[in-house]
Amino acid sequence: MTSEVTIPRREKLLSTLKEKEALIIFAAEEAKLEKFKQDNNFLYLTGLDIPEAIYFAFRGQNGAIEMLFIQRGDPEKEIWTGAKMTAEEASQKCGLSLQKIHYLDEFLSILSFYCPVIDKIWANIGEQYLDKPPTMQLFRLSPIRERYPNIIIESIETIITPLRKIKSDWEIKQLQRAIDITGKAIIDVLEKAEALMMEYELEAIMFYRMQSMGIKHWGFAPIIGTGINAATLHYEKNECQIENGDVILMDVGASYLNYSADITRCFPINGSFTDRQKEVYEVVLDVQKRVIEMIKPGIELLELNQVARDLLAKGAIELGLIDREEDIYKYYMHSISHFLGMDTHDVGSRNAILETGNVITVEPGIYIPEEKLGIRIEDDVLVTDTGYCVLSQHIPKEISEIEEIRIKAMTK
């Protein structure tokens, strides 16, 4: 992520600030013995993959100023952790001039100068719960909150969501890469899975492919559920053995430069679906296609939700699962869609109206624990001027395609 990508984002955000408003965006904390994953708002605005840093901006009478505070190098620590990014490197990468790069130990003293004239700070404070400790970001703002209780502190989400919701061509390319790699990993599983394997073996097959292609993280904990586990919506244990006749549900996504794919596919371990499994699969697939066809700028997510629920209810009646449409919640209990981007459940509300440049998932499902069966089919869809483009269209989802790959692999 170069400064060509991040400078226009910062300019846009700064242009929405009123006079006397400031931004304070914290990078993620330094990871201890685990892989570092950057805070998405910090990464979005700076392109920097370094821990602990702080981006600060303030709009005064004469326009906006920006600063970046980074960790100071410590030769003793660097023996363990490697060299820190220098001020010169940070300046070059994020496109702020060298004079605007400071060290973290200067943050509060420099802020002392601005606080008397700040009315409001927009910060990435995250969600606050009264029954939980404050988030790290809110904690780091405590000196300011204590000395300047009149400064309003508000979540950055309000002003950054309209920006992050509209994906640039560059962002769509990164998402496409995450989706394509996820697709390759799914095909690997379709080709290699065998009855009696463990769910976690399929997870390993997938991550092997992803990591070989430069992926550092899953976008979210992968769900690989065989048989009845597929009917548990957020099953993440992935620790059961695959039995003959099972259908396996995989809800997975690679994260590339923090852009996350989110794809669900289901396949029969025996190569072919049974007639009953096929019936259920076809209902879900048909609903998914019909909802995707509705996507265009101006349509409300709530409308997609309603249509999906109605169609699934009709399908469930045909499948003999329920008698009345209102009972569909027994077999389908989630929403049809969410925004997708740097967060798997990306910024953007459940009642949003779609705009060109949004990327959303479409993921109907039917879950029948008593038949040890769960089917969900999920694609990632870009909203275009004229309608939609399914970014995951090359990942097979037709029954015939999936069976062909399975049978070919099994007869090898």
Q: How far is the CB of 221 from Mn ion (least distance, A)?
A: 12
Q: What are phi and psi of 25, to 5 degrees?
A: -120, 120
Residues 235/223, Cβ–Cβ less than 8 Å: yes
Binding-site string for Mn ion from residue 172 to residue 191, where x marks contact by CB under 5 A and - marks none: --------------------
Give the total of residues touching Mn ion (CB under 5 A): 2
Residue 155 structure tokens = 């979540």
Q: How far is the CB of 359 from Mn ion (least distance, A)?
A: 12
Residues 98/90, Cβ–Cβ less than 8 Å: no
Q: How far is the CB of 27 from Mn ion (least distance, A)?
A: 27
Residues 107/69, Cβ–Cβ less than 8 Å: yes
Q: Which residues pair with 69 in a beta bridge?
A: 54, 102
The residue among 201 and 379 lying less far from Mn ion, judged by its C-beta, is 379
Q: What share of the chain is helix, strand, coil (3-state, %, to 5)?
A: 40, 20, 40
The residue among 155 and 260 lying less far from Mn ion, judged by its C-beta, is 260
Binding-site string for Mn ion from residue 206 to residue 245, where x marks contact by CB under 5 A and - marks none: ----------------------------------------
Q: How far is the CB of 262 from Mn ion (least distance, A)?
A: 4
Binding-site string for Mn ion from residue 82 to residue 121, where x marks contact by CB under 5 A and - marks none: ----------------------------------------
Residues 228/372, Cβ–Cβ less than 8 Å: yes
The residue among 137 and 238 lying less far from Mn ion, judged by its C-beta, is 238
The residue among 380 and 403 lying less far from Mn ion, judged by its C-beta, is 380
Q: How far is the CB of 8 from Mn ion (least distance, A)?
A: 29
Task: Give the range of 1-9, 55-63, 182-190, 353-361 binding Mn ion by CB under 5 A.
Answer: 353-361
Q: How far is the CB of 158 from Mn ion (least distance, A)?
A: 24
The residue among 381 and 402 lying less far from Mn ion, judged by its C-beta, is 381
The b/e string for 371-394 (b: 16+ C-beta within 10 A; e otherwise) is: bbbbbbbbbbbbbeeebbebbbee
Told to check if 379 binds Mn ion by CB under 5 A, we report: no
Q: Contact with Mn ion (CB under 5 A): which of 280, 361, 388, 403?
A: 361
Q: Which residues pair with 202 in a beta bridge?
A: none
Q: How far is the CB of 77 from Mn ion (least distance, A)?
A: 40
| Parallel/antiparallel/unpaired status of strands 120-123 and 152-155 | parallel
Cα separation, 245 vs 371, in Å, equals 12
Told to check if 343 binds Mn ion by CB under 5 A, we report: no
The residue among 277 and 361 lying less far from Mn ion, judged by its C-beta, is 361
The residue among 87 and 312 lying less far from Mn ion, judged by its C-beta, is 312
Task: Give the range of 17-25, 161-169, 257-265, 398-406 binding Mn ion by CB under 5 A.
Answer: 257-265
Task: Give the range of 76-84, 154-162, 258-266, 294-302 binding Mn ion by CB under 5 A.
Answer: 258-266
In the block, residue with structure tokens 């449409």:
325
Q: 262: closest CA among 322, 183, 199?
A: 183
In the block, residue with structure tokens 């979540």:
155
Cα separation, 307 vs 295, in Å, equals 12
In a 10 Å sphere around its CB, with 0-12 CB exposed, 13-18 middle and 19+ buried, how is residue 299 labelled?
middle
The residue among 229 and 361 lying less far from Mn ion, judged by its C-beta, is 361
Q: How far is the CB of 363 from Mn ion (least distance, A)?
A: 5
Q: Contact with Mn ion (CB under 5 A): which of 21, 246, 262, 380?
A: 262
| Parallel/antiparallel/unpaired status of strands 63-70 and 101-103 | parallel
The residue among 234 and 408 lying less far from Mn ion, judged by its C-beta, is 234
Residue 81 structure tokens = 């952790």
With vertex at residue 29, the alpha carbon angle to CA 23 and CA 30, rounded to the nearest 5 degrees, is 140
Task: Give the range of 111-119, 120-128, 187-195, 259-267 binding Mn ion by CB under 5 A.
Answer: 259-267
Residues 81/75, Cβ–Cβ less than 8 Å: no
Cα separation, 214 vs 405, in Å, equals 25
| Residues making contact with Mn ion (CB under 5 A) | 262, 361
